[in-house]
Structure 1
Amino acid sequence: MPELVKLTWTPNPASGLPRSARRGCDYEAYVPDLLAGRTFSLSGGTAADVADAERAVQRLNREARGLADSEAVARLLLRAEAVASSRIEGLEVGGRRLLKAQLAVGLGDDPADVTATEILNNIEAIRWAVEAATRAEAITVDHLLSIHARLLAGTRIEEHGGRLRAEQNWIGGSSYNPCSAAFVPPPSTRVLTLLDDLCAFCNDDALPAIAHAAIAHAQFETIHPFIDGNGRTGRALIHVILRRRGLAPVVVPPVSLMLATWSQDYINGLTGTRYRGEASSREAVEGLDAWIALFAAATTRAVADAERYEQRVAEVQATWREALGRPRADSATDRLLRALPGAPVITVQSAAALIDRSEQAINNAIPRLLEAGVLKQTTAGRRNRAFEAVDLIDAFTDLERQLPSPDGDTRRTPPGRRVPQRRA
């Protein structure tokens, strides 16, 4: 059974805070049930929603290979999730700016763009998490700590990276104390035991993959094991589970962004999993069932957005090929057209490494691509000449605008969070 631990908040009288923020109080911290070894049951409707969502993810991964380079699309969808999820955290960076910062880092420049650096850490953390945790025999607490350390590397709170919190945290209410908090996670002394249990659950495969990822994500957010970066780490965990279970071997749809778009439903869904009493109670069973149904619906919608985006990428590539007079198969030009979705901003050097051709071959191909309107010259870093695929960046911006809209069109339903400006 979950516990409510009664605690007392004792303020520091020398903190210099306003009197209202220095008051003490009694509060309750929620310690959830353990997950490993539990039996879960889904209602008929939720089981059908989960099956629909899994078929959608399988279709996305299967058909991606026919529409466009699947690895390239996977990288760009991951970048879209990193950009938008960072925007949820208050880090404002447009896709073009991030792509240039990423290229500058690849060229050995030190990007002065601190915000872009945080988002690049987000991309790297999810990429590493998916690769390392998929290869590993089992997910461990050390994997979660490593993901978190990569997320916070180079940020103002880097010293907290990869370290479990040693103090109480809370969600909502005052920034100074938990007295008016909407939710108080478990005391820090209980965090390691809960994470060990969560990892044991993550390594089981008794549940369908979508339900598995939904429960693991909710439990992680309830534990809230870090001082900061819990949201981003919890979103990375979704990627890890869907990849480990084999449901999304190449492309993971941006499901966590749909949950953020349906923000109030998301909060209500998580709250519904924080039941009191027996796990077999009606409240517990219905709350978890409703959460899994919401997660499945978010996955299905995320797949639909990803498929529309991927179709747009394929249309852009077809237009390019028509403008270029159908370039010779496997030429440098042909390889660049296939690689650009994953790297819409390139230099001669990065393009040569990307398609495994000489810089001379790239220098021969780029004038054709400029003349056909595939590329436009720009700069990256301090003084590096670069080239950007404007059509792809515009499509990426459209995706960033589409994901935060409840029904996928900001002209009909305003986005629930900040989005890039509509392109002219």
Structure 2
Amino acid sequence: MLAGCSETRVEWIGWVFSVPPSPERVPTLMDDLIAYLNRDDIPVMVQAAIGHAQFESIHAFTDGNGRIGRALVSAVLRRRGATHNAVVPLASGLLAEREDYFTALGEYRRGDPTPLIELFARSARAAAISSRESIARIKAMPAEWAAELRPRAGSAAASLIPAFYDHPVMSAGEIEERAGASAQQTYLAIAQLVEAGFIQEITGRKRDRVWVAAELLAELEDLDRRIQAAMRSRRMSDHRATRGPDDGA
């Protein structure tokens, strides 16, 4: 329903809201959204952007709608074959353009999806280009760790190197399970990885501890910064282009 109006839009994209819909309408709207996301006759970036915006407009849950909405984007890209082995961190680009994102979301709810689709396309491009360098670095990490530690074949350390590559955040129980060794051998391996700087403990507790692959997460944080920097650089470039050579003189 349009803000300030009692008239209901008929077309699909016209399910727009200035506030979340009443609870009894949510199941029907979600069924409609799922049917849309399962279509294959729509450009993938258009589908991802509109699917995300529609979910955020439905606001199906009291909490976590943003996280689920971002996950839907990755799900669309994966289902349509745009991605295969990695998740494109498109949300990092949106974060750099937070004001434009909320403006575009408002335009979508008023019936115009174009600004949102264009923003998603710019974010996807920045994320894909910036990710190439990080993917190369991350893929090289297990071999680099193994070359430095030189773990014995079949040892707990040898098992934990690829385990932390696949699962960057693990509890003590998860580490023991993946190490395939005794508790004593497992904790010796953990100590080796910590000393080498590959992992670190983040809880500061003696029980229920959790370790993270510090180097891998640091690379992902750097990727996030580079994507945001690329978006800001593109914004400044576009701004200079629209001003023209004589503007501001």
CA RMSD in angstroms comes to 3.9
Residue 132 (structure 2) pairs with residue 297 (structure 1) = no
1:407 matched residue in structure 2: 230
Task: Please point out which of 42, 65, 68 is paired with 1:230.
Answer: 65
1:288 matched residue in structure 2: 113
Distance in 1 (CA, whole Å) between partners of 2:21 and 2:202 is: 50
State the one-letter code of the partner of 1:362: T
Judged with a 3 Å threshold, the aligned counterparts in structure 2 of structure 1 residues 330 and 243 are, in CA distance, closer, same or farther, namely farther
SS in 2 for 1:334: helix
1:422 matched residue in structure 2: none
What are the Cα deviations for residues 324-380 of structure 1, in whole angstroms up to 9, with x where unaligned?
Answer: 24x456653333222223444556642231354454553453454355443456755
1:262 matched residue in structure 2: 97
Distance in 2 (CA, whole Å) between partners of 1:308 and 1:384 is: 35
Judged with a 3 Å threshold, the aligned counterparts in structure 2 of structure 1 residues 359 and 262 are, in CA distance, closer, same or farther, namely same
1:312 matched residue in structure 2: 137
SS in 2 for 1:273: helix
TM-score calculated relative to the size of structure 1: 0.44
Q: Percent identity among equivalent residues? A: 35
Distance in 2 (CA, whole Å) between partners of 1:378 and 1:290 is: 40
1:104 matched residue in structure 2: none
Judged with a 3 Å threshold, the aligned counterparts in structure 2 of structure 1 residues 239 and 356 are, in CA distance, closer, same or farther, namely farther
What are the Cα deviations for residues 365-418 of structure 1, in whole angstroms up to 9, with x where unaligned?
Answer: 345435544345675545356655443343344345445x342799xx9xxxxx
SS in 2 for 1:259: helix
Q: Is the 8 A contact 1:32 1:222 kept in 2?
A: no
1:334 matched residue in structure 2: 158
What are the Cα deviations for residues 233-287 of structure 1, in whole angstroms up to 9, with x where unaligned?
Answer: 32232233233334334422222332232122222322333446xxxxxxxxxx4
What are the Cα deviations for residues 140-195 of structure 1, in whole angstroms up to 9, with x where unaligned?
Answer: xxxxxxxxxxxxxxxxxxxxxxxxxxxxxx8xxxxxxxxxxxx4455556544433
Judged with a 3 Å threshold, the aligned counterparts in structure 2 of structure 1 residues 372 and 32 are, in CA distance, closer, same or farther, namely same
Judged with a 3 Å threshold, the aligned counterparts in structure 2 of structure 1 residues 220 and 360 are, in CA distance, closer, same or farther, namely same
Q: Is the 8 A contact 1:217 1:234 kept in 2?
A: yes
What are the Cα deviations for residues 184-218 of structure 1, in whole angstroms up to 9, with x where unaligned?
Answer: 45555654443332222122221133222112112
- Structure that is richer in helix per residue: 2
Q: CA deviation at 1:295?
A: 1.3
Distance in 2 (CA, whole Å) between partners of 1:30 and 1:264 is: 29
2:219 matched residue in structure 1: 395
State the one-letter code of the partner of 1:209: V
Shift >6 Å, 4+ stretches:
none
Structure of greater relative contact order (alpha carbons < 8 Å, 6+ residues apart): 1
Distance in 1 (CA, whole Å) between partners of 2:122 and 2:7 is: 27
Judged with a 3 Å threshold, the aligned counterparts in structure 2 of structure 1 residues 188 and 307 are, in CA distance, closer, same or farther, namely same
Distance in 2 (CA, whole Å) between partners of 1:386 and 1:288 is: 43
SS in 1 for 2:113: helix
Give matches, 1:335-354, under 5 Å. Answer: 335-344=159-168, 346=170, 349-354=173-178
Judged with a 3 Å threshold, the aligned counterparts in structure 2 of structure 1 residues 304 and 353 are, in CA distance, closer, same or farther, namely farther
Distance in 2 (CA, whole Å) between partners of 1:347 and 1:34 is: 49
Give matches, 1:77-96, under 5 Å. Answer: none
